[in-house]
Structure formats: structure tokens, C-alpha cells
Amino acid sequence: MTEPTGGSSLPPPNSQQLALHVPEPKFRPGDEVDFTEVTVPPVDAARRPDTAARADSFHDLSFGLVRVLDLDNSAGGQWNPRLDTDTMRQMLRHMAMVRAFDERMFRAQRQGKTSFYMKSLGEEAVAVAAAMALASDDMCFPSYRQQGLLIARGWSLVDMMNQIYSNRADRMQGRQLPIMYSVKDASFFSISGNLTTQYPQAVGWAMASAAKGDTRIAATWCGEGSTAEGDFHSACTFASVYRAPVIFNVVNNQWAISSFSGFAGAEQTTFAARAIGYGIAGLRIDGNDALAVYAATRWAAERARTNQGPTLIEHFTYRAEGHSTSDDPTQYRSAGEPNAWPLGDPIVRLRDHLIALGEWDAERHAEMDKALADEVKLAQKEAEKNGILGHGLHQPFDSMFEGVFEHMPPHLKEQQAQMRAERASAGMTQGGNV
């Protein structure tokens, strides 16, 4: 062995035994839930900086919690968007529609009508209020839990269901997992199953819009868990460098399948604070407060529209359901968590605010819920006329080769011919499996 130079003047070897920290959530199945450690500051605690303020002049907003709707059902503070009651009722209706849609489609999956579904229970405000705060042609790059964007933009429920059923009328031609919508006409980008890949894409779209002197901005969403992906950090760097007109939404719903937010770094700091290192504007907001989501999105959009660059908004919320129909949250977290969440339910909170204003009542709410459920049911009937997953081939079997490229290259034509031949030799035209 070669002797190190320096000899005895080197520092002595470390004598302290090392210990590895592996995060552990506060509550596991069977545990009593106590969320008193979750700080809920008063609604007037967060200041609202001018939209032209430098991003480094309000770092405190990355650690606080922007709120508008108080737990006593009043609205206040500097961020109060002072929406008229018609708009708030519209917001309430959209959120309730998302919930009714989710409820129905979740059940459809359980009935074997499709392979997969993802609810957004408890997170409806995050997408609905954002869609209402953005212009209808601002480009959205969602993750898989922002169905509220489509519903708030008035997109057809039947069209969404056709996709969920992969049926004859599915515009995606049965190629995508249920809920991985793509709706260019609603400025809603094709959803990927790979996490946070949409982040740099949103930045690229926003950069292109700016480079072309366009007026449209981009917004994108990911979960707190997938802020750990390299794409998130690449996107933040690009957005910061070019001051891209983009809004980054981090939906901190506490859980990434079974991994609590601690596995993405929540024990050390907030997700909004990620913005500080990149020199971009950061806001941490109550994601169960539709008015706060609306106000923060409007503020971030104003910054983007005036070339002030990107904003990262952490929506502090709670995933009240499992990750998807393939998940069983009772296996890893306390069943008491959803009801104990200190920031309540976004629909109940906006409903109670409108009731407190004398602009709504329990009876009207029940009527609305019934009307929405009927509307969803009707849409479902309509969609099911086009077929449900697994009951026959809804697309021509040889259509799988189309759209890989704009023009089908020879090797795919050959494989398509091979497939036709193998099915013909087995006596199959449509339907059945090889």
C-alpha cells in the first residue's frame, strides 16, 4: 500500500458512529390522529406583495400559508379575491361536479367497466379554482389528478368517460390508461403516466409562447412526491433562467401512494421553499381553500403575463382517497387522517362560506348534488352506448400500428400485415384474442 503523504499531521479518523435517518410518518393504521402540529396561521397573516415585487423580497410566503376562507366560514385577509357570489357558486358547482364524476367513475371501475380510476377527493379546489383563475386558452400541463381543469373548462363528461372506457368514441383510440386525457381544444396537454415529465414541457411551451410574442401562459401540476424527480429541478432551472411565463403547482397532498411527504423532504422544509433556491417566486397556500387557490393563481398569472417570470405554488392539501383504484390506503396510514385534516374539505368550506353570506343553503346544496349526480349518470349512459373496456374490441385491431409515426414506415406495415394474417389464419376478423 502506498503511504499517504502528510503522515501523522493528518486529522484522526472519525470515532463517532454514524446513524441513518429513515423518515417515518406520524400515524400508521390504528393510530389516533392528532394534527395539532400542523400550523394554521390566521387569514390575515400572509401579506400580498405587488405582482411586480422581486421574488427574493417575499421568502416568508414560502413558509407561511396563504389563506382566505377562515374556519369560521368568513373570508378575509389581503389575498381575498372578493369574488362575486355567482362566481363562487359556479366554483362550488364545478368542485361538486368533480366529486360526483369521481364517485361514479370509481364505482364503474369497481363494477368492472374499466381497468383503473383516480379520484381527487379533497383536492377539488386545486384544479377547479386554478382553471377559473386562468384564461381559457392558457395551456395546462396537468398530472393525473387535475380532472377539475377539464370540468371547470366545461369539457364534455361523455368525452372524458369515453376515454375512461377506452370505447369506440374514445378520441385516444384506446391507447391510453384511463384518465390520461388529452384535450387540445381545452388547452389541456396529454397526460403522461411518468411523473413530472410535464414540468419541463410546460416550461418549453411557455418559452415558445414568450419567444413568439404570444400572450398565453402555461401552468403545470405535480405532486409533492415527484418534486424529487430530476425533471422538476431541470424545469425550475430553465424557468428561472429564461423567466418563463409558467406557473408551477405542487399539490402537496401528503401522500405519494404509501410514501408520506417526508420521503420528498417535507421534514426539512416546505415545498414552496424549493422556489427560493431557484430565485423564483414561491407561495405556500391552503389548497383546500378555493378562494386562496384562485387568488394565488391570479397573482402568479399576473406575474407571468407581465414577464416577471415563474411562480411555484405549494398547495397544502390532503389526499382523502387512495392513490388510485389499485391502492388501499388502510394498509399504510391511519383511517382517521382524512376526517382529522385541520384544513377541512374544500367543498364544505366554500359551501359554508356561501351559506354564511346568506347566498346558499343546505337545501339548495342537496338539490345541486342531486342534479349533478343525475347529469353524471346521464353522461355515463351516453358513454356506455359506445362500449366499456374489455367487452369486445372497440377499435380495429390493426389500428394499433397507426400514429406511431406520421407516416407508417415499412417495418410497421409489415408487422401490421403479419397481424392481419395471423388473425385471419385463426379465423378471426374482429374480437377475441390470439
Partner 1 sequence: MARMNMIQAINSAMDVMMARDPDVIVMGEDVGYFGGVFRATAGLQAKFGKTRVFDTPITECGIIGVAVGMGAYGLRPVPEIQFADYIYPALDQLVSEAARLRYRSAGEFTAPITVRSPFGGGIFGGQTHSQSPEGIFTHVSGLKTIIPSTPYDAKGLLIAAIEDNDPTIFFEPKRIYNGPFDGHYDRPSKNWSAHPAGEVPEDYYRIDLGTAATVREGNDVTILAYGTMVHVAVATVEDMGLDAEIIDLRSLVPLDIDAIEKSVKKTGRCVIVHEATRTGGFGAELSAQVQERCFHHLEAPVERVTGFDTPYPHSLEWAYFPGPVRIGDALKKVMRE
Active site residues: 319, 323, 332
Cα radius of gyration rounded to whole Å, the chain: 24
Q: Least distance to partner 1 from the beta carbon of 241, Å?
A: 6
Pick between residue 208 and residue 373 the one whose CB is nearest to partner 1: 208
Nearest to 251 by CA among 214, 220, 291: 220
Beta strands of 37-155 (E only): which ranges? Answer: 139-141
3-state SS record for 245-281: CEEEEEEECCEECCEEHHHHCCCCCCCCCHHHHHCCE
Q: Please identify which residue in 52, 53, 211, 362 interacts with partner 1, judged by CB under 8 A.
A: 211
Measured over the CA atoms of residue 261, residue 267, residue 272 and residue 276, the dihedral's sign is negative
Q: Least distance to partner 1 from the beta carbon of 414, Å?
A: 9
The identity of residue 336, as a single letter, is G
Per-position x/- string for 149-188, each x denoting binding to partner 1 as judged by CB under 8 A, each - no binding: ----------------------xxx-xx---x-xxx----
Size of the site for partner 1 (CB under 8 A): 45
Per DSSP bridges, beta strands 218-223 and 259-260 are: unpaired
Q: Least distance to partner 1 from the beta carbon of 409, Å?
A: 4
Pick between residue 240 and residue 334 the one whose CB is nearest to partner 1: 240
Q: Least distance to partner 1 from the beta carbon of 260, Å?
A: 25
| Binding residues among 15-44 for partner 1 as defined by CB under 8 A | none
- Residue for cell digits 386554478? 130
Which cell is 404 given?
406511431
| Binding residues among 54-113 for partner 1 as defined by CB under 8 A | none
Q: Is 241 in the site for partner 1 (CB under 8 A)?
A: yes
CA angle 272, 77, 300 (to 5 degrees): 40
> Around Cβ 218, how many Cβ atoms within 10 Å?
30
CA angle 277, 278, 279 (to 5 degrees): 95
Per-position x/- string for 387-406, each x denoting binding to partner 1 as judged by CB under 8 A, each - no binding: ----------------xxxx
Q: Is 277 in the site for partner 1 (CB under 8 A)?
A: no
Q: Please identify which residue in 33, 45, 208, 371 interacts with partner 1, judged by CB under 8 A.
A: 208
- Residue for cell digits 405519494? 256
- Residue for cell digits 417566486? 281
- Which one of the spans 189-197, 269-277, 310-318, 326-334 is the region binding partner 1 (CB under 8 A)? 189-197
Pick between residue 181 and residue 255 the one whose CB is nearest to partner 1: 181
Q: Least distance to partner 1 from the beta carbon of 379, Å?
A: 21
Which cell is 300 given?
402568479
Q: Least distance to partner 1 from the beta carbon of 197, Å?
A: 5
Q: How far apart are CA 45 and CA 60, in angstroms?
A: 11
Binding residues vs partner 1 (CB under 8 A): 139, 141, 171-173, 175-176, 180, 182-184, 189-190, 192, 194, 197, 199-209, 211-212, 218, 230-231, 233-235, 237-238, 241, 403-406, 409-411
